[in-house]
Amino acid sequence: MAQVLEFKLPDLGEGLTEAEIVRWLVEVGDVVAIDQPVVEVETAKAMVEVPCPYGGVVTARFGAEGTELPVGAPLITVAVGEPSAGDRAGEEPGAAEGSGNVLVGYGTSAAPARRRRVRPGRPVPVPVSSRQVDGDGGLAEVRSAEALAVGGAVDGPVPVISPLVRRLARQHDLDLRGLTGSGPDGLILRSDVEEALRTAAAPDARAVTTTAPDARLVADPAARPTVEPRSATAHAITAGGIRTPLKGVRGAVADKLARSRREIPDATCWVDADATELMRARAAMNAAGGPKISLLALLARICTAALARFPELNSTVDTEAREVVQLDAVHLGFAAQTDRGLVVPVVRDAQARDAEALTAEFGRLTEAGRAGRLTPGDLTGGTFTLNNYGVFGVDGSTPIINHPEAAMLGVGRIVPKPWVHEGELAVRQVVQLSLTFDHRVCDGGTAGGFLRYVADCVEAPAVLLRTL
């Protein structure tokens, strides 16, 4: 007899607690192999494919595309142990297979096999009743759909997993027992709480803009109308204008920037530099044949050399221990604007890469960002950020530090300007460089020394050769 196993949304790491279903990669009735990707989800950091650790027949899927699920919520159920003829030749019937824990964006053992559609028996979603630790340290019971009371609020523990949901409700004095969750088995999601708060704040606006009852606030699950799922970029037009939910990448960016402003006493210094010689050096390098070298790679090479001289800026602050932690490796982040918003991919061990290797890695990460294929690992762990806002046609900026880093170098556009060169007025290629730094890790002398060294290398690239 086939054994039905349930696969839940795995722990995504890096503090992420929820993900939105973007696209299902399997249908009910498909045969899946161990570690085959079954769903594409979007987290606050990246869009990734989630592999299933079981091999067998998909009997149920939980959540439509556009649905936001908390970590630990059911994704699919798989019937294992009764393979069809020819599908699993040579294996013992009834063996429940699995590859263990799943890391998002990565397989866990075997390569995925080609899917084949079979005609299994009637799919039976498996009800779940488990206990999870909530945000207050207590236990919250996650009850099955059959256990939810029809026509009223659930008696007993509130079906909530995410501590973020509980905290949001506490901050706004919202009683979760009065909500019916839109998640699997009635789980209350953050979007449910946000929707309830919007309803309480603007009931008249919702009456104008909503033509059907909201599925999240209908007490009877069987009486819920069919509602199209809202994507991460959905807009709601109200009497007060257009409202865009702060979720996904936009929400993560908002949280990080707000935290940086709260915690980091930042300061900014800047200087204009003559980049004419740097542009000539790049042109000469690219004229010599071989892979083309990007300007960003040359600036990154200058950054790593400057950080070797001023390592205080490649650090982070441990607020609990009240210590400045100076880091050995330079994991260089670079700001990139994509269709999904601002992302900061990270080049690992940038100090060990030459200009050619840096160009290749910048290109790989940029292409992955445009295609939405950056993994959480590509977007985390940076120690210093290089921000080339000159591509937007601006000269200067005072950027917000990418928490928990200690500094960010900004580069404006390179444009022809009048400049005194060798005692005479000339037209030169001029760029404005700015450094925003955490004043806890160093004083202005260190920050000024770093920026002056960067400017010297931009004006005379031969300066960099003396440090190699």
Q: Bridge-partner residues for 387, per DSSP?
A: 410
* Active-site hit among 172, 235, 421, 439: 439
SS3 state of residue 228: coil
Residue 244, amino acid: T
Residues contacting 207, CB < 8 A, separation 6+: none
Q: How many other C-beta atoms lie within 10 A of the C-beta of residue 239?
A: 10
- Backbone φ and ψ for 261, nearest 5 degrees, come out as -65, -35
Task: Provide the sign of the torsion angle of the four alpha carbons 93, 99, 100, 101, taken in this order.
Answer: negative
Q: How far apart are CA 430 and CA 448, in angstroms?
A: 19
| Nearest C-alpha neighbor of 448 from the set 407, 405, 396 | 407
Q: How far apart are CA 373 and CA 369, in angstroms?
A: 6
Q: Bridge-partner residues for 346, per DSSP?
A: 333
| Nearest C-alpha neighbor of 39 from the set 57, 54, 20, 16 | 20
Check whether the bond before 345 is cis (ω within 30° of 0).
Answer: no
Task: Provide the sign of the torsion angle of the four alpha carbons 457, 462, 466, 467, taken in this order.
Answer: positive
Backbone angle region of 103, left / alpha / beta, with phi > 0 → left and psi within -120 to 50 → alpha: beta
According to DSSP, the β-strands at 415-421 and 407-411 are unpaired
Q: Is 439 a catalytic residue?
A: yes
* Active-site hit among 134, 318, 443, 456: 443
Task: Provide the sign of the torsion angle of the four alpha carbons 390, 393, 397, 399, taken in this order.
Answer: negative
Q: Bridge-partner residues for 130, per DSSP?
A: 142
Give strand ranges (E) for 199-264.
236-238, 241-243
Q: Are 2 and 56 in contact (CB under 8 A)?
A: yes
Q: How far apart are CA 22 and CA 43, in angstroms?
A: 10
Q: Are 332 and 398 in contact (CB under 8 A)?
A: no
Query: What's the Cα-to-Cα distance from 399 to each of 295, 325, 403, 409, 448, rounded to whole Å?
Result: 20, 22, 12, 9, 17
Query: What's the Cα-to-Cα distance from 325 to each of 3, 253, 320, 443, rounded to whole Å?
Result: 51, 24, 12, 16
Locate 96 and state its tokens: 């429940």
SS3 state of residue 43: coil
Q: How far apart are CA 437 and CA 207, in angstroms?
A: 48
Q: Which residues are catalytic?
A: 439, 443
